[in-house]
Amino acid sequence: MLTTTPIRNRLISVKVSTLPTDALITIADAKKYLNVTGSDDDALITRLADAAMMTVERLTRRSLLDQQVTTIWSAQALPLRLFRPPVQSIVSVKSIYQGTKSTAETLTNFYLSGADGMRPKIAFKDTFEFTESNIEEIEIVVACGYGDDPCYVPDELVQAAYLILNQSYDCRDNYVEGSGTPVPFDAHRLMTPFIVPVI
């Protein structure tokens, strides 16, 4: 059985396994914000709007719209701090031994704490033991995000995405390979209260 001693958790990998079905910034809203008429830049603006949302998610370590996130952890201790809050629910938990995943564990054996906060955790009930006697890693899939519609995302994070979009669009002709476009200071200021501490 895994120890519940609070030792440093080790995140091995994280990936968005199910992408949002909606866009944080629609092409119509983006063009209105950028004061763009015509459709010549529609593909570019769509890419930049998607990149702006992903930049906000990366810098805040949060999920904005509904998505599923898969994390794999070194099996050293529970509770494990989860990645990309807010966390809505646990989708599946599997133990991994020598690269082979177990069948999904019964979700009623686990619970979330602090799901909406900065450091959500997953823990198991005292009477639960993993089905595998030897466990090297744990795969956890969770449903994350503020909701399926941009109206549920905090206004500060939406505005930060708009600011990043505007900066990216304004600097599109001045891009230097490898330089990247700096995130505007005002966008950083808006995101700061939402940044999740490094795990």
Element (H or E) spanning 69, and its range? strand 67-74
- Please give the Cα distance from 144 to 138 (Å, whole number): 18
User: Is residue 162 scored above 90 in pLDDT?
Assistant: yes
Is 60 exceeded by the pLDDT of residue 132? Answer: no
The closest of 110, 58, 67, 59 to 87, measured between CA atoms, is 67
pTM equals 0.81
Q: N- to C-terminal Cα distance for the chain?
A: 23
Report the mean per-residue pLDDT for the chain. Answer: 84
Residue 75 has pLDDT above 90, yes or no: no
* Residue 9: band (very low, low, confident or very high) from pLDDT cuts 50, 70, 90: low
Cβ–Cβ < 8 Å for 194, 156: yes
Query: Average of pLDDT values for 81-102?
Result: 86
What is the pLDDT, as a whole number, of residue 74?
A: 82
Residue 168 pLDDT more than 70? Answer: yes
Structure tokens that stand for 196 in this block: 């999740």
How high is the pLDDT of residue 2? 38
Q: What is the predicted pLDDT for the residue at 191?
A: 97
Q: What share of the chain is helix, strand, coil (3-state, %, to 5)?
A: 30, 25, 45
pLDDT of 157 higher than 80: yes
Span 94-101, average pLDDT: 84
